[in-house]
Amino acid sequence: MKVNFRNMINGYTGRADDVIYVYDRQTNRYYVRNYPFWKVQSFNLTFAAKMKNLRRLHPSLPYREDMQMYVGLYNSLSINRYNPVKAWNNIFMKLMFNMAKTLPGIDLATLTRQQIYDENLPCISVKAAVEAGLLPVVRGYDRFDHQI
């Protein structure tokens, strides 16, 4: 459903009647979605364990700054014009799950920083991730070499 307003309401966001309304200033669009309802399944529990462990990694400040600059360059790609990434942690999660798909021995539920350094995994820096094909190539990616 597309929503058009004659007099633009700037920034209405909320929930009404099991529907969520979100205004995205970056794309200047409103999104209207049904409120999600899901059943607890085994997949949900394993996914939650992976997300909790990835949060415990606590990337360093220079690594996060590299990710933030990468997000700006990533969003400037013509492919991502209508689906921009909002924050650095979205790219970080995308990187980690792509790494788990391509490298068979990686378990995101038990991954540690020490394991990343010992095995020299491609998530160690944004530059290494781009060179490994886990993230798309952007202009000037080679300067993002701070380690996690």
Instruction: Decide: pTM greater than 0.95.
Output: no
In tens, the pLDDT along 59-95 reads: 889 999 988 999 989 888 888 777 888 888 899 999 9
Domain tally for the chain? 2
Shared-domain flag, residues 66 and 129? yes
The DSSP symbol for 35 reads: P
- Long-range pairs, 42-51, Cβ under 8 A, ≥24: 46/109, 49/109, 50/108, 50/109, 51/93
Structural domain boundaries, residue 79? 42-143
Angle at 137 between CA 135 and CA 143, to 5 degrees: 100
Average pLDDT over residues 93-100: 90
Q: Which two tokens stand for residue 117?
A: 């350094």
Residue 11 and residue 50 in one domain: no
Do both 116 and 80 map to the same domain?
yes
Q: What is the pLDDT of residue 61?
A: 92
Based on DSSP, count helices (H) and strands (E) in the chain, helices before strands. 5, 3
- Joined together, the tokens standing for residue 49 give 């364990």
**Tens digit of pLDDT for each residue in 128-138?**
989 988 988 88
pLDDT-derived band at 29, boundaries 50, 70, 90: confident
**Do 4 and 66 reside in the same domain of the chain?**
no
Band (4; pLDDT cuts 50, 70, 90): low
Is 112 within the bounds of a domain? yes
Asked whether residue 95 falls in the same domain as residue 28, the answer is no
Contacts for 84-88 with beta carbons within 8 Å, 24 or more apart? Answer: 84/26, 84/27, 86/26, 88/64
* Same domain? 51 vs 30: no
Does residue 48 have a pLDDT over 80? yes
